[in-house]
Amino acid sequence: MHWWIILTEEMQEQIDMQRKALLSLHEKHSLVMLQKNNKLSQLQSELEKARSDALAWVPRRGHVVTGKRKKELVALAWALSYSFDKTAGTRGCQP
């Protein structure tokens, strides 16, 4: 057997090993992205509920709560609303 045939076979084996490693990395990446998207979806649902609760609670209690506490509650409602608006389009994102 000639040396270049042996060298070519070794190179092919390395290519095959690298290809398998790359496929494994792609699978791991896909799994991580799926987990991240699931977590993002869960957090989005929690944010939507918190925003809804805060916006429903502030007007209902607005006539009772006055002064500094009222300002804090309104600021919280606005912050939740802003956070919701900033993340509303990111569900199911892909790299």
Is residue 55 exposed (0-12), middle (13-18) or buried (19+ Cβ within 10 Å)? middle
Per-residue pLDDT of the chain (95 residues; tens, 9 = 90+): 676 677 788 889 999 999 999 999 999 999 999 999 999 999 889 888 888 887 776 655 555 556 777 777 778 878 877 776 766 655 444 44
| Phi then psi dihedrals of residue 94, to 5 deg | -120, 155
| Phi then psi dihedrals of residue 89, to 5 deg | -95, 10
Write down the pLDDT at residue 61.
53
Write down the pLDDT at residue 68.
72
**Pairwise CA distance, residues 15 & 38, whole Å:** 35
53 and 61 Cβ atoms separated by less than 8 Å: no
* Domain ranges for the chain: 3-87
Write down the pLDDT at residue 92.
47
Q: Residue 47 gets which letter from DSSP?
A: H
Write down the pLDDT at residue 64.
56
74 and 31 Cβ atoms separated by less than 8 Å: no
